[in-house]
Amino acid sequence: MRAILLLTLINAAGPAIGADTVIQNPAGRAAMTLNGAWHVIPDPYETGYYDYRRMPFDTAPNPGSGFFLDRKPADKSDLVEYDFDSSPTLQVPGDWNSQDDRFFYYEGTIWYRRTFDYTPSSADRRSFVHFGAVNYRADVYLNGQKLGTHIGGFTPFAFEITGKVRATGNSLVVKVDNTRHLDAVPTVNTDWLNYGGITRAVTILETPATFIHDYRIQLAPEATNRIAGQVQLSNAQAGVPVTVTIPELGVKIRTRSDTNGHAVFEAPARHVELWSPQHPRLYSVTLATDRDTTTDRIGFRTIAVRGSDILLNGKPVFLRGISLHEENPLRGGRAWSEDDARLLLGWARELGCNFVRLAHYPHNEHMARVADELGLMLWEEVPVYWTVQWDNPATLANATAQLTDLIARDHNRASVIVWSVANETPVTPARTGFLRTLIDTARTLDPTRLVSAAMEVHADPADNNHRIVDDPLGAYTDLLSFNEYIGWYDGLPDKLQQIRWTFGYRKPVVISEFGAGALQGMHGDRLTRFTEEHQEDLYRQTLTMLQGIPQWRGATPWILVDFRSPRRPLANVQDGWNRKGLIGSNGQKKKAFYVLQDFYGRKALESRAQP
């Protein structure tokens, strides 16, 4: 509800769509792709952004040498010290790190420019330029005019270009800056590579003057034979007729928008086949006004927690999970395409998973759509990682915006069952207050899903074999999720069998991480670090230990595939990769893959009645 309210307020306060409002189902509206080769100018000193007094050109009365002007010398004597046309190109979507060795560890600004022609299909149509994601800050200019700025590397944004876009010769310039900042989300310290660039698709979207900006369609609360939802139009216009049709459920709802351009509805449905991993049923849903139509494929299911059980469609479910970074090791670089999603989620299915943790930031929209189709439940997360500035209101606003946009983007995906607000954060009052605000936001925006965070384990100073999970944050989450590295950062795998657990809450324990590093193809005995045998042993012993925990309801071990991390320099072993993957950076499976596959196979058989 808050998302919708927020959109309404923004609409009332300014232009209908701002940088931070998410257009639902953009793929359903794509009019033209701007993917492909863009000319780029690396600008480590930000010469094209600031003048020599360090004043931004884009707010100066005389913008002079701002690269966003995409200028050409007026004549042979005119001085212009940059030229997009003769500069090299990079592919969009794509990170810059994996496209050119010179940019492998580059952090800073690169200017991107793309020219295009565009004529809307009719004069009364509106147009938007839509970005799937840009890491981390994007300043966007069309034909020398600033459209806006977006902050946050993993969420979509759009700017209206109606009346600004020309039939021919448009210049779209994006200043992309992936500099890490202490007050940012994430902060400067992460265990993954800070890929820069326009990492997801860029499209021109076309809409009527009043269009279906956002919608949410789901089962009515406490009912599996009623469909409920809401629609938000782009303009606060009353009395616009809205229809929602789900032909296979015999649903045809007719309603009208209120003065805020908002419509709420509920109607009975024919027998709904509920979405589950065993039966990932999706229904075609069409929303229409007198001027606009959009179609989506949506699944219906319930998710809840009762005591220490997780209930999917009312039945207890065990989460056979795995964690994933958004990276395609075979091509190298950030994953962004549907094919990438099929590769990664296909591996998860082969492992026997019914659940995937998309760590540690919002992954691209294909991931949730392919998961919907394959029947994989998802944990989605925002990059509040390790530590951010807990006392800084701007940092909280940033994290809130990222969470809000993630929820707005994926609130129609049946696959998503958990919103996670943080990973491995320190227990302090400031942090707990910060995260509680995020949890409250998630619950207000979406009361239909679980909310969690990957917490930490604490050692008992009086007993070396006693581990405690009693983080005060656990009082506010639905799951008791924590990362544990017994046998890797904490002793050797034989220690696992000695461990005794105390949990501060009677909630489902879902282990958000455990794991060990191993170089694919490196062999030795089970006590030798970085061998496949060591990792295999750790998996065996961890699974044995976990089975002794009565409230254990799932796990997302760390991690499906090796991933790039500048924190991992060990030569000939890590070489800049975190090697905790069950699959190596070469795409080959390690021994531990088969240990977990075997375990999940047995678990699936055991709970045949389960999804």
Give the residues lining the site for ligand GCB (CB under 6 A). 191, 360, 423-424, 483, 513, 558, 578, 580
Tell me the three state secondary structure of residue 557.
coil
- Minimum CB separation from ligand GCB for residue 438, in Å? 17
> Over the range 270-300, which residues count as b (16 or more CB within 10 Å of their CB) and which as e?
eebebbbbeebbbbebebbbeebebebbbbb
Number of neighbours of residue 438 by Cβ within 10 angstroms: 24
* Residue with Cβ nearer ligand GCB (286 or 574): 574
Q: Which of 218, 207, 514, 560 is nearest to 363 (CA)?
A: 560
- Minimum CB separation from ligand GCB for residue 484, in Å? 9
* Residue with Cβ nearer ligand GCB (232 or 323): 323
- Minimum CB separation from ligand GCB for residue 331, in Å? 21
Beta pairing partners, 145: 142
* Residue with Cβ nearer ligand GCB (279 or 567): 567
* Residue with Cβ nearer ligand GCB (394 or 427): 427
Q: Which helix (H) or strand (E) holds 417?
A: strand 416-423
Per-position DSSP letters for 493-536, written without gaps between them: GGGGGG-EEEESS-S-EEEEE----B-TT----TTSTBSHHHHH
- Minimum CB separation from ligand GCB for residue 579, in Å? 9
E-only strand ranges, 269-363: 283-288, 293-298, 303-306, 309-312, 315-316, 319-324, 355-358
Q: How far apart are CA 403 and CA 436, in angstroms?
A: 13
- Minimum CB separation from ligand GCB for residue 578, in Å? 5
- Minimum CB separation from ligand GCB for residue 427, in Å? 15
* Residue with Cβ nearer ligand GCB (16 or 457): 457
- Minimum CB separation from ligand GCB for residue 473, in Å? 16
DSSP type of residue 359: -
- Beta-carbon contacts of 315 under 8 Å, excluding residues fewer than 6 positions away, are 609, 610, 611
- Minimum CB separation from ligand GCB for residue 359, in Å? 7
Query: H helices within 425-487, ranges in order?
Result: 429-445
List the structure tokens of 550: 């009565």
* Residue with Cβ nearer ligand GCB (190 or 541): 190
Number of neighbours of residue 533 by Cβ within 10 angstroms: 18
E-only strand ranges, 3-60: 30-33, 36-42
* Residue with Cβ nearer ligand GCB (424 or 532): 424
Please identify the residue of the shown chain whose CB is closest to the bound ligand GCB: 191
Query: H helices within 56-150, ranges in order?
Result: none
> Over the range 501-514, which residues count as b (16 or more CB within 10 Å of their CB) and which as e?
bebebebbbbbbbb
φ, ψ at 542 (rounded to 5°): -65, -45
* Residue with Cβ nearer ligand GCB (389 or 483): 483
DSSP type of residue 1: -
Specify whether the CB–CB gap between 363 and 326 falls below 8 A: yes
- Minimum CB separation from ligand GCB for residue 486, in Å? 12
Tell me the three state secondary structure of residue 606.
helix
- Distances in whole angstroms, Cα of residue 552 to Cα of each of 369, 454, 515: 28, 15, 17
* Residue with Cβ nearer ligand GCB (360 or 591): 360
- Minimum CB separation from ligand GCB for residue 528, in Å? 18
Specify whether the CB–CB gap between 407 and 444 falls below 8 A: no
Q: How far apart are CA 242 and CA 257, in angstroms?
A: 7
- Minimum CB separation from ligand GCB for residue 601, in Å? 26
- Minimum CB separation from ligand GCB for residue 580, in Å? 5
- Minimum CB separation from ligand GCB for residue 487, in Å? 13
DSSP type of residue 583: B
Q: Which of 576, 563, 89, 579 is nearest to 332 (CA)?
A: 563
* Residue with Cβ nearer ligand GCB (156 or 517): 517
- Minimum CB separation from ligand GCB for residue 144, in Å? 42
Q: How far apart are CA 380 and CA 450, in angstroms?
A: 11
φ, ψ at 50 (rounded to 5°): -110, 145
* Residue with Cβ nearer ligand GCB (160 or 471): 471
Q: Which helix (H) or strand (E) holds 15?
A: none
* Residue with Cβ nearer ligand GCB (275 or 355): 355
- Minimum CB separation from ligand GCB for residue 209, in Å? 45
Specify whether the CB–CB gap between 212 and 290 falls below 8 A: no
Q: Which of 377, 370, 369, 335 is nearest to 353 (CA)?
A: 377
* Residue with Cβ nearer ligand GCB (200 or 564): 564
- Is the preceding peptide bond at 559 cis, omega within 30 degrees of 0? yes
* Residue with Cβ nearer ligand GCB (103 or 355): 355
* Residue with Cβ nearer ligand GCB (58 or 381): 381
